[in-house]
Amino acid sequence: MLSPTSNLSRRDFLQGMSAAALTTLAAGAPRLLANDEVQHPKATADTCILLWMAGGMAAPETFDPKRYTPFEVGVPSEKILCTFPAIDTVVDNIKISAGLENVAKVMDRATLIRSHVVADLGHILHSRHQYHWHTGYVPPQTVAAPHLGSWIARVRGPNNPAIPAFINIGQRLEGVGESEELKAFTTGGFFGSEYGPFNLPFPTDAIAAVRPPKGMTAERFEARQQRLKELLKKSPVGELARDYHHESMLRAIDNAHRLLSSKERDAFDLTKEPKESLEKYTTGKESRFGHGCLLARRLTEAGARFIEVTTEYVPFLHWDTHENGHATVKRLKQEIDRPIAQLILDLEERKLLDRTLVVIASEFSRDMMVEGIPGSKAVDQSRAKTDVMKLPIHYGLHRHFTGSGSVVMFGGGMKKGYLHGETAQERPLVTIKDPVRIPDLHATILTAMGISPKTAFDVEKRPFYATEDGKGEAVRALFAK
Amino acid sequence: MSLAKVADARQTARRVSAWPDWYVPLCSIHSLRYCEAASGAAANRKRRRLFPEKRMSFTVRLLGAAFGVLALAASGRAQAPKKVDFAHDILPLLKARCAECHANGKYKGSFSVDTREDMLRTKGVVSGKSAASEVIKRIVSNDPKVRMPPKGEALTAKDVELLKAWIDQELPWEPGFSFKAGTYVAPLKPRRPVLPAVQNGHEHPIDRIVAAYFGKHQVGTPAALDDESFLRRVHLDLIGLLPTPAEVNAFVQDTATDKRGQLVRRLLNDNRAYTEHWLTFWNDLLRNDYAGTGFIDGGRKQISGWLYGSLLDNKPYDQFVRELISPTADAEGFIRGIQWRGNVNASQVRELQFSQNISQVFFGINMKCASCHDSFIDRWKLDDAYSLAAIIAEKPLEIHQCDKPTGKHAAPRFVFPELGGIDAKLPKAKRLEELSRLVTHPDNGRFSRTIVNRIWQRLLGRGIVHPVDVMANRPWSEDLLDYLAVYLVDRKYDLKQLIEHIVTSRAYQSRPVAIAQEPTGEDYVFRGPEVKRLTAEQFVDAVWTLTGTAPAKAAAPVKLPDFGESVPAQRRFVRASLVNADALMRSLGRPNREQVVTTRPDLLTTLQALDLSNGQLLSETLTRGANRMLKADPKAPNAQRIEELYLTALGRRPTVSEAATANAILGDKATADSLADLLWIVLMLPEFQLVR
């Protein structure tokens, strides 16, 4: 059962994985519904990297700048649409917000959607909107809905079997607010943990996740595995050796060990990156997001399938600007600007960008005045309420806005230097052209990844679709071809 | 336009037309296709009227310029689909205009629309050729004797075109959908089966039924389970903990003929250990936890204190359920459900959660589909879900179909009205009291069957009805299910007596059957118990038993009684079921208790194996444990350590050959590292991780 050496070819590993996957299938995991309607499209991307701006990235402060009003004591809040001036990009008809100068230089590789419209769920709770964005379904659900990455992992499988198919970088799931809510969607859901996220909250510690436990040498780790094999052989299990519970258990242990001893392991190790390259992704003391982007690049090179890199959701921190928004967003831009641009350039240089879909997205946008959408009953959650500007802390977009939002896509078969959708020039800054809802955005991502948005699995005798109700339709206008 | 005006316009919009659909989530349960299909043709037409291509002018007229732009945007999406959509376009038509005479047992003119295959087989349609299809000829006929459907108006030109297009597109069908209802009807009343004659000296009633079953299905009696395996299995099944080496030795040497029965009673009498094991099962089932989703803003209430006390007292199951449904403050968390923050789909308001959970937990009925529309997979209807929900509603509960108000209000009614009604005029507390009486009514065989099936599944690995949440499925033995249900009622709903009865049977005390692949469905034949995987809590408890590394404090807000005098030192610790889930338990399958969970995944996955192989938590625990063990007994010879480890973890002594390898692992003198390695290796053995 267990292989005699750990130095296995990828082919062997692949066989091991698919056998495990088959066993999982046989064991009451949801079955793929055979559906005549479902024809998987031809993939335009092999890897998807989701750059998640957790907490609500204000579109007017980033990719959809509006009339700029500088801070001045006494300016009525109502007058302020955004707090940064617009800058030119390398694309004539696209301007973005100051502070994103590096991204501006690569916008000719981008498709920019300004008309992303998310659902308004009433009382804002970030994790609920994040759940909706990541699973495509509004919580609560009566079954555990899988993360988008799990759908891709389940349907397309690993790109390189030695790299987990779904890798989640930058989000702590313990010790942060709303952590239970975060776990509710950071999951393989009804697909089971075989398709769940491989969580790497700290990019510089990522290697720890694929090497022997702390304090254990590689030699001891390897010896321990060999001894396990010995005792397994001697274990008097009798006829139960052919039981599927028993067999799958051995396969899982074997797979884990192969992952821990494969050469691809190096991809997780940021110390293997040349210093000057590491520098390019370093934006400050911590640089977790920047290093996350670098890790994503290394893992893409090694053959990852789906990677999420988040700025991390922590209530009231980072993009979750309930007060002092301008200053916070200024810092955030500094954290994301260079790494994102560098990631795109690096992927391009390595000839990976054409087959890698990079998506920048967030659960909703922000506004100075409107909570939710106009007329929403959502409770105003700004912590810096004021009619006129008095202190710098008042200056920024402190309310959650669901009427429009920006999504940026690079590579993976999308158009280059393309602008999609439009928002109003005056408040309310709602989408006025070509709205793209979550199901359609997901359908676009899935289609690029070669997965039909109508893909369905049988869960408790009901079909459960990859996009809500099987209705997501790829936005064809975004594709290069 | 000022904000206030915008808001006003929005309110108007909500009243008149609803939001543009790209703001509003659709059916939250799963699939609008089903919603629309279920709502029937009339509702379908109504929906088309509300969300038509014409939305633009409609909305513009109402909202004026500011929102005209929104409407314009929305209209961009409203394109007619090129392909005919079975669930939206065809199914409602078939259901409304054909099914009454041509489906589910009634096949006038020998024509059936049950399934696509049936339609083709009974020659109503020719795939790809609408012009040659009898159905089309009939529906367009002007001759009243020929025209279909014979009653009501003729199909509209649009519907005819749809049907033609559908046939021309080779009749795409919703996979698995059939108009034909299942043939098995689960009975409601309890039934006392006549016990078959005793065979092979097995007098236990369960074995008399099983022997007759084996005979009928030509299955040989599985081999008997040896003492050591029985001891380990029954310990894990009844109290969730491993036996100690002393207990293994004593039990093997015991010559009393009824030593197994005595052991079972001893374990069941260890009230604290029993409670803390079964707490996991009940927490999953009643979605109770000590932290988690919903607790963040008081939207949820624990029942931990009540639950723990009820298990400790072995509260009769009927009383247990009555107290859950008609609760005092400390038990009300279950029926209160989870109050989610923000807008929630109509099918997930607390009243509907109540309806779904009562149905699933106590009757194995899936009311999730019917919370949104008439179910397609069984007989439950929207009205059933809402009638049950209305029992707990504070004010009249408006029925929503697929999240849209219908204008109708639900009247309180139990799912099995033949057992009695509930007076709508009673106040809520009284209605709940009435409900608790109906749920536990002596004539409600579904109530007792559901729980005995769940217990059987926990003990033997697979339910008599499978899966345990679909009690409408045919049991592999109706006699056995009915017998056990009646047994439980006869014993005044004493769950411990039920468990004792099952585990003292030869059926339970058989060697597990090796199954190469999980059996998928109806052709299942019972051949003996299946191996089960340790739950996350059992795994962690076992690690703590072996290494003495259990935490000092429980997270569950419960009053812990003293350990019984006879409880060995190794078992006196704070159990995994009493603490919050950590990364290891979560990885090993302890669920986020946001939904009712009745069974957990029974296979180890690669990511789980990875956590076991290099996860910091397990690794640190084993190192800490190894240090502790060395300190506690620095001079113990390797042979003793190995024997104790094997006896505890696997319930048996190591073979000579195993002992030799284990000795080599420990080295001349055991160190913290070498002992931690040996512990890890034993924990990785399937023999350890499975209950056999």
CATH code of A410's domain: 3.40.720.10
- How would residue B348 be classed by pLDDT, with cut points 50, 70 and 90? confident
b/e burial code for range B301-324 (CB count within 10 A of at least 16 → b): bbbbebbbbbbbebbbbbebbbbb
Domain contains A4:
no
Structural domain containing residue A445: 10-478
Residue of A nearest to B83 (CA): A37
Are B689 and A256 an interchain contact pair (Cβ–Cβ within 8 Å)? Answer: no
Which of B25, B341, B369 has the CB atom closest to A138's CB atom? B25
Instruction: Report the alpha-carbon distance of residue A347 to residue A298 in Å, rounded.
Output: 10
For residue A447, being part of any structural domain is answered with yes
| Chain B hits for A27, Cβ within 8 Å | 518, 601-603
CB-based contact (8 Å) between A378 and chain B? yes
Considering only CB atoms, A248 lies closest to which of B603, B616, B657, namely B603
Q: Tell me if B469 and A460 make a contact (CB, 8 A cut-off).
A: yes
Q: Is residue A2 part of a domain?
A: no
Query: Which chain A residue has the Cα nearest residue B518?
Result: A27
B584 interfacial to chain A (CB closer than 8 Å)? no
A274 in contact with B, Cβ within 8 Å: no
B293: distance to nearest CA of chain A, Å? Answer: 5
Res A61: pLDDT: 98
**Can you tell me the distance from the alpha carbon of B539 to that of B554, in angstroms, rounded to the nearest whole number?**
17
Distance CA B469, CA B463 (A): 10
Does residue A5 fall inside a structural domain?
no
Interchain pair A231, B623: CB under 8 A: no
- Cβ distance B34 to A462 less than 8 Å, yes or no, reads yes
Residue A58 lies in a domain: yes
pLDDT score, position A115: 97
**Residue in A128, A144, A248 closest to B604 by CB:** A248
The distance of A256 to chain B (nearest Cα, Å) reads: 5
Taking the Cβ of residue A14 and every Cβ of chain B, the question of whether any pair is shorter than 8 Å is answered with: no
Whole-complex ipTM: 0.76
Residue B339 or residue B644, greater confidence: B644
What pLDDT does residue A31 have?
A: 67
Q: Which residues contact B48 (CB under 8 A, 6 or more apart)?
A: none
Q: Per-residue DSSP letters for B600-653?
A: ---S--HHHHHHHHH-HHHHHHHHHHHHHHHHHSTT--HHHHHHHHHHHHHSSP
- Which residues, numbered 203 to 222 in chain A, qualify as contacts with chain B under a Cβ-Cβ cut-off of 8 Å? 208-216, 220-221
The minimal CB distance from B606 to the residues A117, A138, A252 is found for A252
**CA nearest B3 in A: which residue?**
A374
pLDDT at residue number A474: 97
Q: Does the distance separating the beta carbons of A180 and B176 come in below 8 Å?
A: no
Chain A, chain B: beta-carbon pairs less than 8 Å apart: 307
Q: Cβ of B533 under 8 Å from any chain A Cβ?
A: yes
> Measured between beta carbons, which residues in chain A are less than 8 angstroms from residue B19?
120
CA dihedral B28, B30, B33, B34 (to 10 degrees): -100
Interchain CB distance below 8 Å, A27 and B690:
no
Q: Nearest CA of chain B to the CA of A113: how many Å? A: 14
Give me the residue from A26, A232, A432 closest to B73, CB to CB.
A432
The pLDDT of B459-485, averaged and rounded, is: 94
Cross-chain Cβ contact B341/A209 below 8 Å: no
Contact across the interface for B345 and A234, Cβ inside 8 Å? no
CA B552 to chain CA centroid, Å, is: 33
Peptide bond preceding A392: is omega within 30 degrees of 0, i.e. cis?
A: no
Tell me which chain A residues have a C-beta less than 8 angstroms from the C-beta of B686.
235, 237, 240, 245-246, 249-250
Contact B346/A at CB under 8 A: no
Partner-chain contact B661 A139, CB within 8 Å? no
> Is A235–B687 a contact, with Cβ atoms under 8 angstroms apart?
yes
Residue B183: pLDDT band (50, 70, 90) is: low
- Of A196, A373, A430, Cβ closest to residue B607: A196
3-class SS at B379? coil
pLDDT band, residue B104 (cuts 50/70/90): confident
Query: CB contact, 8 Å: B682 with chain A?
Result: yes
B488 CA: distance to closest CA in chain A (Å): 28
Give yes or no for residue B66 having a pLDDT over 50. Answer: no
A237 shares contact with chain B (CB less than 8 Å) = yes
What's the 3-state SS for chain A?
CCCCCCCCCHHHHHHHHHHHHHHHHHCCCCEECCCCCCCCCCCCCCEEEEEECCCCCCHHHCCCCCCECCCCCCCEHHHCCECCCEEECCCCCCEEECCCHHHHHCHHHEEEECCEECCCCCCCCHHHHHHHHHHCCCCCCCCCCCCHHHHHHHHHCCCCCCCCCEEEECCCCCCCCCHHHHHHHCCCHHHCHHHCCEEECCHHHHHHHHCCCCCCCHHHHHHHHHHHHHHHHHCCCHHHHHCHHHHHHHHHHHHHHHHHHCHHHHHHCHHHCCHHHHHHCCCCCCCHHHHHHHHHHHHHHHCCCEEEEECCCCCCCCCCCCCCHHHHHHHHHHHHHHHHHHHHHHHHHCCCHHHEEEEEECCCEEECCCCECCCCCCCCCCCCCCCECCCHHHCCCCEEECCCCCEEEECCCECCCEEECEECCCCCCCEEECCEEHHHHHHHHHHHCCCCCCCEEEECCEEEECCHHHCCCCCHHHECC
Q: Provide the shortest C-alpha distance from residue B130 to chain A (in Å).
A: 19
- The reply to whether A249 touches chain B by the CB within 8 Å rule is yes
Asked whether residue A1 is domain-assigned, the answer is: no
Of A123, A180, A253, the CB nearest to B291: A180
pLDDT band at B29 (very low <50, low <70, confident <90, very high): very low
Any A CB within 8 A of B518 CB: yes
Q: Count other Cβ atoms within 10 Å, centred on residue B640.
A: 12
Number of domains observed in the structure of chain A: 1
| Chain B residues in contact with A128 (beta carbon < 8 A) | 340-342
The pLDDT tens digits of the residues spanning B632-691 come to 999 999 999 999 999 999 999 999 999 999 999 999 999 999 999 999 999 999 999 999
pLDDT in tens, chain A (481 residues): 233 333 333 333 333 343 334 333 333 456 676 555 578 999 999 999 999 999 999 999 999 999 999 999 999 999 999 999 999 999 999 999 999 999 999 999 999 999 999 988 877 778 889 999 999 999 888 888 999 999 999 999 999 888 999 999 999 987 787 887 888 899 998 888 788 999 999 999 999 888 899 889 999 999 999 999 999 999 988 888 888 888 888 988 988 888 888 889 999 999 999 999 999 999 998 899 999 999 999 999 999 999 999 999 998 899 999 999 999 999 999 999 999 999 999 999 999 999 999 999 999 999 999 998 888 878 888 888 999 999 999 999 999 999 999 999 999 999 999 999 999 999 999 999 999 999 999 999 999 999 999 999 888 777 899 999 889 999 999 999 8
Contact between chains at A180 and B592 (C-beta distance less than 8 A): yes
Residue with tokens 């006003």: B8
Q: Which of residues 286-345 of A touch B (CB under 8 A)?
A: none
